[in-house]
Amino acid sequence: MDQGSGSPHVLIFPFPIQGNVNSMLKLAELLCLAGIQVTFLNCHYPHRRLLSYSNIQARFSRYPGFRFETISDGLPMEHPRTAEQFLDIVDGVKTTTKPLFMKMMISWCRSASDTRSPLTCVIADGLMSFAIDVANEVGLPVIIFRAISACSFWAYFSLPQLIEAGEVPFRD
């Protein structure tokens, strides 16, 4: 399929941690292989790391319908973004990224662009639940993508039953 103006155009928006970004980049590549235009909206910090430590530009340069866009996660670039500071990332995304994303989506959906065909769908990371409200606001369908493994997803949803059965927390 030609990746011209007649093909669907999907915005992919991962949570700004490396594992989630990597999973959604794989999804983006699969969509590009199917002839779908993809805009990958990444936060500045993980995007800079991709550019510095991978061949991401060369990998996606073969897909003419692919483009990167970036957005702030509200944290300074020197912030360590380790597991211990995970809540800092969550807070930054909630307070900074959410309103920026809303402005960006309204702008993209209301103004014509010679370089970007209109978006037809948003695929957002499950941790970016505000994307549902934003997509609804601008009239786009939204798909929530969970970047965790099926086993992790199952364990997460089984936890209430394990607690109720007294299996968690573990004894000893």
Q: What is the pLDDT of residues 75-118, one digit of tens each?
A: 999 998 988 899 999 999 999 999 999 999 998 887 756 667 89
pLDDT digits (tens, 9 = 90+) for 39-85: 999 999 999 999 999 999 999 999 999 999 999 999 999 998 988 89
Quick one: pLDDT band at residue 169, thresholds 50, 70, 90?
A: confident
Share above pLDDT 70 across residues of the chain, in percent, rounded to a whole number = 94
The gap between the terminal CA atoms of the chain, to the nearest Å, is 58
CATH superfamily name and code, 9-164 = Glycogen Phosphorylase B; (3.40.50.2000)
pTM attached to this predicted model: 0.86
**What stretches of 34-80 show up as alpha helix (H) in DSSP?**
44-53, 56-61
Domain ranges of the chain: 9-164
- Beta carbons of 147 and 126 less than 8 angstroms apart: yes
Q: What is the DSSP string of 116-137?
A: SPPP-EEEEETT-THHHHHHHH
Contacts of 79 (CB under 8 A, 6+ apart): 45, 85, 88
